[in-house]
């Protein structure tokens, strides 16, 4: 049974986020658990926010990845509690976001963001001379910012 869970975890860890395809669901911290529920492999995921439109696609892709790994009768379960937090992003995920041109959330910055004291470094030139242009960007979990040094706009993955 342990080998089956290990195979299932490895398969699920390969699933990428459909909105940010450089990140896996493991990088994002969306993949919460892989275990046996009786005779069935169960994969537990948590959305980045409760209305995330990508979750259905992620669940489908997990099922396909498990099928390819020879685990056809698995179950994907979505849980909302505890709520996902940007603290669950891995260091690898933060690095991948930056390389992709999206500023990753700064650990521990969510309280400062509430009071408008947030500094977001530009993912391209690393300048901290940046400003927020819009609360929402290409997806609702990102805000649109602009670097004043290189003048490039960029997405910022919001803290929550």
3-24 pLDDT per residue, tens: 999 999 999 999 999 989 999 9
Distances (CA, A) of 62 to 21, 28, 102, 159: 14, 15, 25, 26
Q: What is the pLDDT of residue 138?
A: 83
Q: How confident is the model at residue 139 (pLDDT cuts 50, 70, 90)?
A: confident
Judgement on whether residues 47 and 112 belong to the same structural domain of the protein: no
Q: What is the pLDDT of residue 52?
A: 83
> What is the arithmetic mean of pLDDT over 114-136?
87
Instruction: Give the domain extent around 7.
Output: 2-84
Distances (CA, A) of 79 to 2, 40, 84: 23, 18, 10
73-124 pLDDT per residue, tens: 899 999 999 999 999 999 999 999 999 999 998 776 554 554 456 789 999 9
Judgement on whether residues 28 and 101 belong to the same structural domain of the protein: no
What percent of the chain lies above the pLDDT cut of 70?
Answer: 92
Domain boundary among the residues 84, 99, 119 is at 84
CATH number of the domain within which 54 lies: 3.30.300.130
Please state the separation of Cα 100 from the chain's center in Å.
Answer: 13
> What is the arithmetic mean of pLDDT over 40-58?
91
**Total domain count for the chain?**
2
Judgement on whether residues 61 and 110 belong to the same structural domain of the protein: no
């Amino acid at each position: 049974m342990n080998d089956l869970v290990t195979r299932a975890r490895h398969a699920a860890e390969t699933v990428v986020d459909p909105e940010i395809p450089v990140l896996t669901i493991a990088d994002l911290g969306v993949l919460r658990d892989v275990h046996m529920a009786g005779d069935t492999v169960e994969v537990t995921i948590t959305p980045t926010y409760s209305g995330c439109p990508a979750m259905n696609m992620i669940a489908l892709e997990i099922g396909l990845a498990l099928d390819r790994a020879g685990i056809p009768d698995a179950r994907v379960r979505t849980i909302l509690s505890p709520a996902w937090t940007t603290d669950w992003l891995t260091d690898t995920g933060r690095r991948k976001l930056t390389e992709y041109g999206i500023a990753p959330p700064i650990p521990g910055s969510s309280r400062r963001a509430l009071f408008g004291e947030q500094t977001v470094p530009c993912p391209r030139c690393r300048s901290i001379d940046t400003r927020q242009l819009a609360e929402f960007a290409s997806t609702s979990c990102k805000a649109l910012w602009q670097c004043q040094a290189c003048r490039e706009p960029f997405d910022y993955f919001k803290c929550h």
